[in-house]
Amino acid sequence: MRTESFVSFRNVQKSYDGEHLVVKNFNLEIEQGEFVTMLGPSGSGKTTCLMMLAGFETVTHGQICIDEKPVNDIAPQKRGIGMVFQNYALFPHMTIEENLAFPLRVRKLPRQDIEDRVRKSLDLVALGQFAKRMPAQLSGGQKQRVALARALIFEPRLVLMDEPLGALDKQLREQMQYEIKRLSKQLGITVVYVTHDQTEALTMSDRIAVFNDGIVQQLANPSDLYEKPQTAFVASFIGENNRLKGQIIERQERYCQVRVGEHLVKALAVNIHPVSSTTTLSIRPERVQIGARPGEYDNHMPARIEEIIYHGDHLRARLKLAGNDEFIVKMVNTAGHAAPQAGTCIDVGWSADDCRALDA
Amino acid sequence: MNNSYTVSPMLETVSETLPQGDLKSSLDRAERLNKTKSLLLVVPLLAFITVFFLLPIGAMLLRSIQNPTLSTAMPQTAAALANWEGTALPDEQLFATVGHEILALQEARQLDSVGSDLNRVMGDAKSLMARTARGLASKVVVPGAFNTTMTGIDKRWGQIGTWMQLKKMAPAYSATNYLAALDLRYDDQGKVVQQPESRRIYVSILIKTLMVALGITALCMILGYPLAYMLATLPAKTSNLLMVMVLLPFWTSLLVRTSAWMVILQSNGVLNSTLNSMGLINQPLELMYNMFGTVIAMTHILLPFMVLPMFSVMKSIDTTYTRAAHSMGASSFRTFVQIYFPLSLPGLSAGGILVFILATGYYITPALVGGRTGQVISNFIAYHMQTSLNWGLAAAIASILLMIVLVLYWIYDRVVGINNMKLG
């Protein structure tokens, strides 16, 4: 396994001040052509990991290898990694053409070759007519496409992207997400992508490493990350999530009994401590059924609707349940379906497989 | 959903009460109050600048083209000379006018000062006037014989050149001061020619001043650029401390700093005695009272003006630019030459033009440490203001300096673009 990986982080640690570790023991193997995202809140160490891979930050401990060659002591300009920055980093004193030609000139390609590749690259991102403009004359989305083209033009095998879409508005961002994904698959490049936006990570990545506090909480493909979060942090960071605090009463193979207030809940034992310690139950809002009949689901509980929030395609009900009044349930807005009213008391139910007992 | 109902009726009422045409005038009315307010805020400063800056400078510039001596002391002569053709010797009437007015000045005891004033342009005017006055006073001149009598007293009255020189000084406003400032003069035929070699001073001094200013600017750039780069890249804590050290001399009195340099540079000063005690030199080096001292002291004094704009520009250069260049494979040298340096150019040029303009007009430091060879044009302006009291010439030299700076500024604007300049 290890021999096949293209990029590998092995026991990597990083400290800026010699006292605190920003990155604590980071391990990651990336295969050729893979799109891997490092996802996490700001200050979680994800950008630091990217910068260490790019060579702009030194590695305090451990080893980073590209193509099985340790790169710890190789200068950034010798690593041959394409990079896209959040603020685009287009050189403001050069035209778009000159910006794109820069990495090729550095490589001393023949003039005709440079011209051809610049034109091809501009066509690739549909910006052919902007060749002679200055970066300041382009919109944010156009700048980002130029930055992308510039990072790809010298055909690097590895491209790093540091929150490249952070400065764009929502619609443009979604459009660019598809464009980046399409380009990366089309050109067969390996991408390491850093973002704090979970939807961005879910839609683009082959695998996602969720960072928190300098540690990778979970490394998995998008659907596993959403469906099977391993820690309470991942469950709450990826998608919406209801959390119920409880005490473990009994463990039954894959499942466990948890006391939440005065109720007993049957949950999937994912990441729990021994009996009688506390746990956090994680239930996705769309997996809770309103008006469930007793016996229909593993768990059945009375609740009171506190509020109905209208979201167009779906409704959200905020429930008071087992002493917790922030319990959200998602309902599809179907025609002819009478919306429940706030203030009514109802029964809710959910399956034990959708209720994951995680670390406290 | 609800919002759209509440907002749109209000928009309609607004557009009903305010038809398109009135929009502009109501905007003007609303803006006028603000404009008046902001104008009132700067009125004290405007008044101060007008009274204490614009008016005196205007008066000085006016003085540079004024030439009041002949037209006020000998008004009839001046008027008559204006009508004289200059092709042949003037007629008897002009001779008489000149003779009478010289005698009148002699009686009023003003001949001496008028003579000295005229001497500035026409080297031998004072002696000619004095001799003529003495001669005329000792004789009784028959009307109609002024021509022959005056020519008899001094044969210079019989030369057209003498009259031509007087004619050029007659108008109340003329370019004589500018000619003098550029080492030029009128010859006896009334043509503009260069001063004789021994009397040429200002052009070479002006060129020297500009060269020295250029040298100081270059020195400041060479010394300041790495310093500004270091300040801009160091962590804020260290760079703030170092910045204070850059600014500390900036806050100290100019005179104190110059005097400190005198203590260091003089022949038995700190530097010389240290070198001497180390056995490196036998005789004290001449570090002061020459151009070397002027350049050293001025470079030190003007350095902060170079560092500050460069620092603020470099501070604003995002590190991602250099990182991006590195990621594309550019070496550190190439990144500096093609990315960092062009981006830092606005600061470099702002500091450069600031230091250059300050250096061309610098006065105190060259006056104190410059000695004989380290003098610059401003020292000559001061000399004519304070010692020779030839304010017209001083004003003319100052105006020429101002024009040179403006022309250089214009060239700079054409080549680099003033919008590319960033002072902070």
Which domain CATH number covers A250?
2.40.50.140
> What is the per-residue pLDDT across B281-290, written as a single tens digit (0 to 9) for each?
888 888 888 8
Domain boundary residue, one of A184, A203, A232: A232
Structural domain count of chain A: 2
Give the closest-approach CA distance of B328 to chain A in angstroms.
Answer: 5
Please state the rounded mean pLDDT for residues A10-31. Answer: 87
Any idea what the CATH number is for the domain that residue A152 is in?
3.40.50.300
Task: Say if residue A197 is in the same domain as residue A344.
Answer: no
Tell me whether residues B327 and A91 touch, CB distance under 8 A: no
Confidence of residue B1 (pLDDT cuts 50, 70, 90): very low
In the predicted structure, residue B47 carries a pLDDT above the cut 50: yes
The Cα A165–Cα A172 span in angstroms is 9
Cβ-Cβ contacts under 8 Å for A167 (sequence gap 6 or more)? A86, A87, A88, A140, A144
The answer to whether residue A2 scores a pLDDT higher than 60 is: no
Residue by residue, DSSP assigns B72-141 as: HHSHHHHHHHHH--SSS---HHHHHHHHHHHHHHHHTT-HHHHHHHHHTTSTTHHHHHHHHHHHHHHS-P
Choose from A16, A51, A56 for mutation: most chain B CBs within 10 A.
A56
Lowest mean pLDDT among A245-259, B32-46, B73-87, B387-401: A245-259
Domain that holds residue A79: 2-232
Could you give phi then psi for residue A210, rounded to 5 degrees?
Answer: -90, 120
**Minimal Cβ distance to A93: which of B328, B332, B343:** B343
- Count of CB atoms situated within 10 Å of the CB of B110: 12
Q: What is the least distance, in Å, from the CA of A159 to any CA of chain B?
A: 10
The pLDDT of residue B20 is 63
pLDDT at B395 (0 to 100): 92
Claim to verify: residue A90 and residue A196 sit in the same structural domain: yes
pLDDT in tens, B125-148: 888 888 888 888 888 777 778 888
Note whether A285 and A310 are same-domain residues: yes
What whole-number percentage of chain B has pLDDT above 70?
A: 93
Clarify whether residues A188 and A261 are in a common domain.
Answer: no
Looking at the predicted structure, is the pLDDT value of residue B10 above 70?
no
Taking only the tens place, the pLDDT of each residue in A318-335 is: 888 877 778 888 888 776
CB contact under 8 A, A89 and B329: no
Considering the domain architecture, whether residues A187 and A284 belong to the same structural domain is answered as: no
A214 and A281 inside one domain = no
- Percent of chain B residues past pLDDT 90, beyond the cut: 22
Chain B within 8 Å of A155 (Cβ-Cβ)?
no
Alpha carbon distance A42, A29 (integer Å)? 23
Q: Identity (one letter) of the amino acid at A77?
A: Q
Size of interface A-B (CB pairs under 8 A): 63
> Is residue A137 located within the same domain as residue A72?
yes
The domain spans of chain B are 2-53, 68-174, 202-420
Query: Which residue in A has a C-alpha nearest to residue B322's C-alpha?
Result: A89
What's the rounded Cα separation, in Å, for the pair B378 and B206? 9
Query: What is the β-pairing status of strands A69-70 and A81-84?
Result: unpaired
| pLDDT > 80? residue A340 | no
- If 0-12 CB within 10 Å is exposed, 13-18 middle and 19+ buried, where does residue B379 land? middle
When CB atoms are compared, the residue of A75, A76, A89 closest to B320 is A89
Host H or E run for residue B233: helix B202-233
- Where is the domain boundary, A232, A266, A294? A232
Look up residue B387 and give its DSSP letter.
T
d(CA B255, CA A115): 60
Of B164, B170, B204, the C-alpha closest to B186 is B164
Dump pLDDT digits (tens) for A49-79.
Answer: 899 999 898 888 888 988 888 888 888 888 8
CB of A349 within 8 Å of any CB in chain B?
Answer: no
Is the pLDDT score of B41 beyond 90?
A: yes
**Residue A291 pLDDT exceeds 80:** no
Nearest CA in chain B to A150: B328
CA pseudo-torsion sign A51, A54, A57, A62: positive
Residue whose token pair is 């010394």: B223
Chain A, nearest residue to B332 by Cα: A77
Strands (DSSP E) found in A291-344: 299-310, 314-321, 324-332
- Which CB contacts under 8 angstroms, 24+ apart, belong to A118-123? A118/A153, A121/A149, A121/A150, A121/A152, A121/A153, A122/A96, A122/A97, A122/A149
Q: Does A2 touch chain B (CB under 8 A)?
A: no
Going from the C-alpha of A310 to that of each of A317, A332, B180, B316, the distances in angstroms are 9, 11, 89, 46
When pLDDT is cut at 50, 70 and 90, the band that residue A101 belongs to is: very high
A223 close contact with B: CB closer than 8 A? no
Q: A118 to chain B, minimum CA–CA distance in Å? A: 15
pLDDT digits (tens, 9 = 90+) for B375-400: 889 999 999 999 988 888 999 999 99
Give pLDDT, residue B4.
Answer: 42
pLDDT computed for residue B124 by the predictor:
83
Q: Each residue of B266-284: pLDDT tens digit? A: 888 888 888 888 888 888 8
Same domain, A132 and A188: yes
What kind of architecture, by CATH, is found in domain B202-420? Orthogonal Bundle (1.10)
> Where a domain ends, among A181, A200, A232?
A232
pLDDT reported for residue A336: 64
**Which of A216, A218, A247, A212 is closest to A230 using CA atoms?**
A218
Residue A179 has pLDDT above 60, yes or no: yes
For A174-196, what is the mean pLDDT?
88
Confidence of residue B19 (pLDDT cuts 50, 70, 90): low
A117 touches chain B (CB under 8 A): no
Q: Does any CB of chain A come closer than 8 Å to the CB of residue B357? A: no
Which of A54, A56, A77 comes nearest B329 by C-beta? A77
**Residue of B327, B348, B422 to mutate, interface with A, max A Cβ within 10 Å:** B327
Q: What is the pLDDT of residues B307-358, one digit of tens each?
A: 998 998 998 888 889 999 998 988 999 999 999 999 998 889 889 988 999 9
* pLDDT over 70 at B422, yes or no: no
- Work out the average pLDDT over B396-410: 90
Residue with tokens 């108008």: B171
Tell the residue number behind the tokens 């300049």, with chain if given.
Answer: B421
Confidence check: pLDDT of B24 > 80: yes
CA dist., res. B401 & res. B50, Å (int): 22
Residue B339: closest CA among chain A residues belongs to which residue? A91
Cβ–Cβ < 8 Å for B153, B136: yes
In terms of domains, do A215 and A248 share one? no
A203 and A83 inside one domain: yes
Say yes or no: A45 contacts chain B, CB-CB below 8 A.
no
Q: Is A75 on the interface with B (CB under 8 A)?
A: yes
Residue B6 has pLDDT above 50, yes or no: no
- Examine the domain organization and report whether A160 and A260 are in the same domain: no
The pLDDT, as a whole number, for residue A228 is: 84
Q: Are residues A198 and A249 in the same domain?
A: no
What pLDDT score does B396 carry? 93
Q: Which of B320, B330, B342 sits opposite A85 (nearest CB)?
A: B320
Task: Find the residue in A nearest to B342 (Cα).
Answer: A93
Q: Is B192 left (phi over 0), alpha (psi -120 to 50) or beta?
A: beta
